Amino acid sequence: LADGRTILVASDRISAFDVVLPRGIPHKGQVLTQLSWHMLQATAHVAPNWAVASPDPNVVIGHTAKTVPVEMVVRGYLAGHAWRQYKAGHRMLCGAEMPEGLKENDKFPQPLITPSTKAEEGHDEDITPAEILEQGLCTQEEWDTMCRYALALFAEGTRLAAQQGLILVDTKYEFGRTGPGRNGMPGGRILLIDEIHTPDSSRYFYADGYQERQDTNAPQKQLSKEFVREWLIAHDFMGKEGQRVPEMDDAFVRSVTERYTELYERITGQRLVPAPTVDMNARVQRALEEYLG
| Cβ-based neighbour number of residue 25 at 10 Å | 22
This prediction has a pTM of: 0.89
- At residue 182 the predicted structure's pLDDT band, cuts being 50, 70 and 90, is low
Cα distance between residue 16 and residue 239, in whole Å: 8
**DSSP secondary structure, 276-291, as one string:** P-TTHHHHHHHHHHHH
pLDDT of residue 18: 83
What is the DSSP-derived secondary structure letter of residue 125? -
Most distant CA atoms of the chain, gap in Å: 60
**Higher per-residue confidence, 226 vs 20:** 20
Mean pLDDT of 95-110: 98
pLDDT of residue 179: 76
pLDDT digits (tens, 9 = 90+) for 234-274: 999 998 988 999 999 999 999 999 988 988 999 899 999 99
Pair 98, 82: CB distance under 8 Å:
yes
pLDDT digits (tens, 9 = 90+) for 53-89: 999 999 999 999 999 999 999 999 999 999 999 999 9
pLDDT of residue 186: 47
β-sheet bridge partners, residue 71: 116
pLDDT digits (tens, 9 = 90+) for 121-170: 656 799 999 999 999 999 999 999 999 999 999 999 999 999 999 999 99
How many CA atoms does the CB half-sphere of 168 hold within 13 Å? Answer: 26
**DSSP secondary structure, 185-243, as one string:** B--S-EEEES--SSTTTEEEEESTTHHHHHHTTPPPPEEETHHHHHHHHHTT-SS-TT-
What is the DSSP-derived secondary structure letter of residue 99? P
Pair 140, 130: CB distance under 8 Å:
no
SS3 62: strand
β-sheet bridge partners, residue 16: 19
Mean pLDDT of 228-237: 90
pLDDT of residue 187: 54
pLDDT digits (tens, 9 = 90+) for 26-55: 999 999 999 999 999 999 999 999 999 999
| Cβ-based neighbour number of residue 21 at 10 Å | 19
Burial 151-165 (b: 16+ CB within 10 A, else e): bebbbbbbebbeeee
